[in-house]
Amino acid sequence: MSEDRNDNDRPLSVAERFAELARLTPARIALGRSGASLPTRELLRFGLAHAQARDAVHEPFRPAEIAAEISALGLTSMMVESAARSREDYLRRPDLGRSLSPESRALLEAARGDYDLAVIIADGLSSTAIHQNAIPLVAALLPLLQRQGLELAPIAIAAQARVALGDEIGQHLGARMVLMLIGERPGLSSPDSLGAYLTFAPRPGLTDAARNCISNIRPGGLAFQPAAVKLAWLIEQALRRGLTGVELKDESERAIEGRMTEQGDGTLGLAKPRPSKPRLSN
C-alpha cells in the first residue's frame, strides 16, 4: 500500500494523518494530549458541547412562534400537550410524554376529519432542533405533498412529547398516517438534530417496529431538501402499500436522483413538479 504524502511529496507524519482524518468528521478523534490528559482547548470544547446539549434539553419550547411560522406557510395549526405537566415530569416519567392530556384529546376530537396525513411538530428532547429546523423542513416538504394531492390535518404542535404521542394524536384526528417531527436526544456534536417518524394507521400501543425514521436532519447533517424528498417518497409508498416500519425499506435514492437537479451555483434544487391540484386543508 502506498504511503500518503503531502504537497511536497513527503510521507505524512502520524499527527498529519490524524489531522487529515479529523477534517472528515465532527467526531472527537485525534485530540492530542497534555501529559496524561487532554489539551486545555479540547477540554474546554468538550465542556461547551456538553453545556449546549443540556441547554437543548431544557430550552423552553415556543409553540406560538412555531404556529406563526406555520400560518405564514398558508397552513393551520393547533396546540396540544402530553400528560406531562412540567419538564421535570417529562424527563422523569417518559410514559407521561406518550399520552395526551384530557384537554388535548377533546381538542383533537373536535378537529377530526378524513385526513391522509397528520404532521406533528414536537419538542421532544431538543427544543433547539425544532426551533431551528422544523419549519424549513416543512417548507421543503409542502410542495411535494401538494404534488401527491394529500389531505392534511391541521398541524399539531405538541409540547412535552415523546415519539409515541403521535399515535394517539393521529388516531383522534382520524388520519391514515402521521409524520412526527421531533427534537432528538442531543449529542455532543449535534444538539440540534431533528428526527422524522412516519407511522401508518396510528394508534396507541404501536412499537418502533411500526415506524420509519429519518434522523439527523439539520444543516450539519441531512439537509432539508434531500430529507423532504426521502419523506415524500416514504409517505407515497406507505399510503400505497398500507404499511410503515420494518416492511417498508427506504429506496428513495433513485427518487432523489430523479427529482433533484444540479443548479448553476452548485446547490441542489427540486426539479419542476408535475402539475396537480392540491387538496391541503387551510
Classify the phi-psi angles of 75: left when phi > 0, otherwise alpha if psi is within -120 to 50, otherwise beta: beta
Domains of the chain with bracketed CATH: 57-270 (3.40.50.11240)
User: Which residues is 260 bridged to in the sheet?
Assistant: 270
Produce one character per residue of 38-61: b if its CB has 16 or more CB atoms within 10 Å, e if not.
beeebeeeeeebeebbeebbebeb
pLDDT digits 0-9 by tens, 150-163: 999 999 999 999 99
What's the pLDDT band for 8 if we cut at 50, 70, 90?
low
What's the pLDDT band for 275 if we cut at 50, 70, 90?
very low
Task: Tell me if residue 47 falls in helix, strand or coil.
Answer: helix
Task: Tell me: pLDDT of 131 over 50.
Answer: yes
Give the pTM.
Answer: 0.80
To the question of whether residue 57 is assigned a binding role by annotation, the answer is no
To the question of whether residue 213 is assigned a binding role by annotation, the answer is yes
Helix (H) or strand (E) holding 158: strand 155-159
pLDDT digits 0-9 by tens, 199-227: 999 999 999 999 999 999 999 899 999 99
To the question of whether residue 247 is assigned a binding role by annotation, the answer is no
Residue 54: predicted pLDDT: 85
Residue 192: predicted pLDDT: 92
What's the pLDDT band for 267 if we cut at 50, 70, 90?
very low
139's grid cell? 417548507
CA gyration radius, the chain: 22
Residue 32: predicted pLDDT: 79
Amino acid at site 234: L
Mean pLDDT estimate for the chain: 86
